[in-house]
Amino acid sequence: MVIVAAMVAATVALPALAADLEAGRRKSEPCARCHGDGGNATVPGTPSLAGQPAWFTHWALVKFRDGRRKDPMMSPVAANLSDADMADLAAYYATLPPRPRPQTLDAAKAAAGQRLAVSHHCTSCHRPDLGGQHQVPRLAGQDLDYLLRLLRAYRAGTAGDLEGLMTLAAQPLSDADIENLAHYIAGLTPAP
Amino acid sequence: MRRITLTSLALALGVVLALAPLVLAQQPPPAWKQGQSPELADSPLAPVPLPPTPTPAKDIPVDKIKLPPGFTISVWADGLHNARQMAWGTRGTLFVGTRVAGSVYAVVDRGDRREVKVIAKGLAQPSGVAFKDGALYVAEIPRLLKYENIEASLDNPPAPKVVYEFPKDAHHNWRFLLWGPDGKLYFNMGAPCNICMPPDTHANISRVNPDGTGFEYYARGVRNSTGADFHPVTKELYFVSHGRDWMGDEIPNDTLHHAPRPGFHFGYPYCHQGDIVDPDFGRGRSCSEFAPPLLKLGPHVAPIGFRFYTGSLFPPQYRNVAFSAQKGSWNRTVKIGYRVMTVELKPGQPPKYEVFADGFHQGDKVLGRPTHIEWMPDGSMLLSDDYHGAIYHITYRR
């Protein structure tokens, strides 16, 4: 807990763009069809946005808009968003409480995944509870299919990595490693 | 006999492979954490996260910046997300590279305001820009791109030509571009790590002809240089470089180097700041084997842009003085850097190193990150800030 507090204190980031939470709530209405009520998605393959660090959601939208990240649903949506839209949406989703997703997970895979999360240093950037920070996403309790898809995309170099850190981290992962990690991460209870 | 040895080796290998799934191989940590000793594993220090959007001019705390008497600073242009190196086109367009924003901008001065156009987006850390003969050169991580006749087509930029392909490693390979007095294009190829034995292709400053031919290494043993310039009188190369991380708050210093001709080795990974042998990679080596730095710039200050002043607007004592923009530390418990320094070089004398612009942080709070320097036609300074995505104008009035 001391460590977590210190990590936050190491750099105090200024808000780059003042966000409007009420505008974010309004702008998020069309997003709910896939990303769920309150940002907790239930559609397999679709990530939950509730409780994501605001800079992560905002950066993801920036990458969809400039084409570094591609998705048949998200690319056209992000193409029409302004910086202010993105800031409002990201700030709004960051305030919502994340809930565990109903999904069937394999305990043996999750146990193997827990060891992999240590040996592959996931917590170095995603924090000890995999709750994310700054531009780094919360992973705990995320959708299994989404985690599988993203880890495979990072390994293939097609996930639109900002600085190449996840692309490098994913290179040594085998297909089985990705399965195991995803089952572990998806089963973690997201901290409120 | 030989056959038996091989058989036993194969057997031994078989046993090892059979056991392998029980023991997980520890993987390399993320690049910024690499080289950290075990007792620092819980260190809260981490690179400064960069905002996903530029800061509007009205919210940039430019009033906090302190300058010598007579100098003033203002926001010249905003909306340039993550702005890094700048280069002028011959028709007065300012081109601006970025790192994590992935974009290249063109700024057109409309007198009372600056119009910002996006001329490329979705590139891989296109930090380096240079201009020659009507063409914009952009260095992204894997490629050197050339946009011909760019100033005639800012609203509809041509598809770039790939002039040269760099190594693809991302870490420390966001580049500067610099024209040499020989007409060649100089750039950095940083170490793909914090501390490691770099491959031959990395940890250097190199040059190519404008058409991408004639690649040559110029300086070796350079960990991560992000700024360089040729002296206005001697035409010799000076460059700054970032020292390694996780050796402590006070060491090693980031450094200024002088490379009057090709072929020098500046020490990395064996020797840091000219007098510290690396605890792992320096065993059996001596710092006397390598070209020492000209000046220690301070530990972890993170020097980026480095430019000599050749204008006549600033007071005469600034003529041929170098300016070093330092985006500031992350690998230090108390922040340092976040400033612009001057370096005065006089033959036979130690360099004179002084603060020029200060105040880009307050304690742990980042108020901005000065990165690259460009000169206005009247001799005033443009200074990019990759945190706020803005360009400052620093001018002087008697």
CATH code of the domain in which B234 resides: 2.120.10.30
Domains in chain A (CATH in brackets) are: 18-95 (1.10.760.10), 107-187 (1.10.760.10)
pLDDT tens-digit series, residues B55-87:
999 999 999 999 999 999 999 999 999 999 999
Please choose, from the candidates A103, A96, A100, A116, the residue with its C-alpha nearest in 3D space to the C-alpha of residue A174: A116
Distance from CA of B51 to the nearest CA of A (A): 6
Q: What is the dihedral of CA B337, B342, B346, B349, to 10 degrees?
A: -40
Buried/exposed code over B14-27 (b: 16+ C-beta within 10 A; e: otherwise) = eeeeeeeeeeeeeb
Q: Phi-psi region for residue B183, left (φ > 0), alpha (ψ -120 to 50) or beta?
A: left
Contact criterion met (CB < 8 Å) for B122 and A68 = yes
User: Which residues in chain B have their CB less than 8 angstroms from residue A119's CB?
Assistant: 24-27
Name the residue among B122, B170, B364 with its Cβ closest to that of A66. B122
ipTM for this prediction = 0.90
Distance from CA of B140 to the nearest CA of A (A): 12
d(CA A152, CA A150): 5
From the CA atom positions of chain A, what is the Rg in Å? 16
How high is the pLDDT of residue B184? 98
Assigned domain for B33 exists: no
Contact residues for B31 (Cβ-Cβ < 8 A; gap 6+)? A165, A168, B171, B192, B193, B194
Assigned domain for B173 exists: yes
**Backbone torsions φ then ψ of B93, nearest 5 degrees:** -85, 135
pLDDT tens-digit series, residues B317-363:
999 999 999 999 999 999 999 999 999 999 889 999 999 999 999 99
Amino acid at B254: D
Q: How confident is the model at residue B16 (pLDDT cuts 50, 70, 90)?
A: very low
Distance from CA of B333 to the nearest CA of A (A): 8
Name the residue among B29, B49, B389 with its Cβ closest to that of A121. B29
Assigned domain for B15 exists: no
Distance from CA of B146 to the nearest CA of A (A): 20
* Cross-strand partners of B178: B186
Can you give the pLDDT of all 192 residues of chain A as single tens digits? 333 333 433 455 555 567 899 999 999 999 999 999 999 999 999 999 999 999 999 999 999 999 999 999 999 999 999 999 999 999 999 999 999 999 999 999 999 999 999 999 999 999 999 999 999 999 999 999 999 999 999 999 999 888 999 999 999 999 999 999 999 999 999 887
**Backbone torsions φ then ψ of B308, nearest 5 degrees:** -80, 145
How high is the pLDDT of residue B3? 40
Q: Which domain holds residue B277?
A: 64-396
d(CA B55, CA B101): 13
* Cross-strand partners of B105: B96, B118
* Cross-strand partners of B355: B341
Assigned domain for B98 exists: yes
Expressed in percent and rounded to 5, the helix, strand and coil fractions of chain A are 55, 0, 40
d(CA B350, CA B343): 10
pLDDT tens-digit series, residues B262-285:
999 999 999 999 999 999 999 999
Contact criterion met (CB < 8 Å) for B365 and A10 = no
**Backbone torsions φ then ψ of B290, nearest 5 degrees:** -120, 160
d(CA B26, CA B121): 36
* Cross-strand partners of B229: B238
Contact criterion met (CB < 8 Å) for B53 and A9 = no
Name the residue among A17, A162, A169 with its Cβ closest to that of B100. A162
The residue count of chain B comes to 398
How is residue B279 written in tokens? 């605890």
State yes or no: pLDDT of B6 exceeds 50: no
User: Which residues in chain B have their CB less than 8 angstroms from residue A66's CB?
Assistant: 102-103, 121-122
Assigned domain for B246 exists: yes
How high is the pLDDT of residue B42? 87
How is residue A25 written in tokens? 């709530």
d(CA A12, CA A132): 16
Q: Angle formed by the axes of helices A175-187 and A107-119, to 10°?
A: 100
pLDDT tens-digit series, residues B197-213:
999 999 999 999 999 99
Assigned domain for B5 exists: no
Average of per-residue pLDDT across B170-179? 95
Average of per-residue pLDDT across B288-305? 98
Assigned domain for B21 exists: no
d(CA B124, CA A68): 9
Q: Angle formed by the axes of helices A144-156 and A175-187, to 10°?
A: 140
Name the residue among B26, B45, B52 with its Cβ closest to that of A55. B52
Contact criterion met (CB < 8 Å) for A164 and B141 = yes
How high is the pLDDT of residue B26? 82
Give B290-325 as a DSSP string. Answer: SPPPSEEEEET--EEEEEE---SSS-GGGTT-EEEE
What does the mean pLDDT of chain B come to? 93
* Cross-strand partners of B115: B108
d(CA A54, CA A62): 12
Assigned domain for B294 exists: yes
HEC readout, B78-135? CCCCCEEEEEECCCCCEEEEECCCCCEEEEEECCCCEEEEEEECCCCCCCEEEEECCE
Please choose, from the candidates B54, B121, B112, the residue with its C-alpha nearest in 3D space to the C-alpha of residue B83: B54
Residues of chain B above pLDDT 90, percent: 90
pLDDT tens-digit series, residues B122-168:
999 999 999 999 999 999 999 999 999 999 999 999 999 999 999 99
Q: Are strands B271-272 and B253-259 parallel, antiparallel or unpaired?
A: unpaired
d(CA B128, CA B126): 6
Q: How many CB atoms lie within 10 A of CB B234?
A: 14
User: Which residues in chain B have their CB less than 8 angstroms from residue A115's CB?
Assistant: 24
The total number of structural domains in chain B stands at 1
User: Which residues in chain A have their CB less than 8 angstroms from residue B103's CB?
Assistant: 66
How high is the pLDDT of residue B11? 42
State yes or no: pLDDT of B18 exceeds 80: no
d(CA A140, CA A123): 11
